[in-house]
């Protein structure tokens, strides 16, 4: 996720302080990985330097002065471009899981145990996400669906690999 573009998009609704941006980000996108204040302010500094935001006002506070940021026309254009550009699909051709299975075979360890352990971990996380989806609002349900669909695809791969483990063992040992 592009933190800069996300903060710019949040600024389109109106000027905000860094604290307000962090709170809005965490509420909408950061439930599992909240943004650190330092990340907000370093990102805002970069956006300011690049002319994508401007300081809309400065207020005295209990500590340092509080800057209120506003998005510039260039910032709006940048967000529009980012939103219109499709994300590159990630084909996972160099997955850590595949590497572990092959290394288990090459080192004469039980690759089926690797697959079983991973299957258990996937199922555990799927139960957690399913429960979260049941309790969540629409945004949370959609986020959980995205993760669950990826985990389901991984499970299919785990089953397929388990079914082909003997052939894979022959293939990797022959090389």
| C-alpha atoms less than 13 angstroms from C-alpha of 126 in its C-beta half-sphere | 14
| pLDDT tens-digit readout, 38-67 | 999 999 999 999 999 999 988 876 777 789
Percent of the chain with pLDDT over 90: 72
How many residues belong to the chain? 175
Read off the tokens for 136. 């969540």
Q: How far is CA 74 from CA 6, 70, 79, 130, 161, in A?
A: 15, 11, 9, 41, 49
Which DSSP category does 65 fall into? P
CB-CB contact of 42 with 54 (8 Å): no
Confidence at residue 91, expressed as pLDDT on a 0 to 100 scale: 74
Which DSSP category does 130 fall into? H
| pLDDT tens-digit readout, 94-114 | 688 898 999 999 988 999 999
What is the maximum span of the chain, computed from C-alpha positions, in angstroms? 71
Read off the tokens for 111. 């690759």
- Residue 45 main-chain phi, psi, to 5 deg: -65, -45
């Amino acid at each position: 996720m592009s933190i800069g573009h996300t903060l710019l998009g949040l600024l389109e609704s109106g000027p905000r302080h860094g604290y307000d941006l962090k709170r809005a980000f965490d509420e909408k996108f950061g439930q599992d990985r909240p943004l650190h204040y330092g990340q907000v302010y370093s990102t805002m500094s970069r956006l300011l330097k690049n002319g994508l935001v401007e300081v809309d006002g400065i207020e005295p506070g209990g500590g340092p002065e509080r800057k209120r940021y506003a998005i510039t026309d260039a910032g709006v254009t940048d967000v529009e471009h980012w939103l219109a550009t499709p994300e590159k699909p990630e084909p996972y051709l160099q997955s850590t899981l595949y590497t572990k299975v092959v290394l288990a075979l090459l080192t004469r360890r039980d690759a089926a145990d690797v697959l079983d352990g991973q299957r258990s971990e996937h199922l555990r996380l799927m139960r957690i996400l399913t429960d979260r989806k049941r309790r969540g609002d629409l945004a949370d349900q959609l986020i959980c669906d995205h993760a669950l669909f990826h985990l389901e695809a991984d499970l299919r791969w785990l089953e397929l690999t388990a079914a082909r483990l003997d052939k894979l063992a022959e293939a990797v040992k022959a090389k």
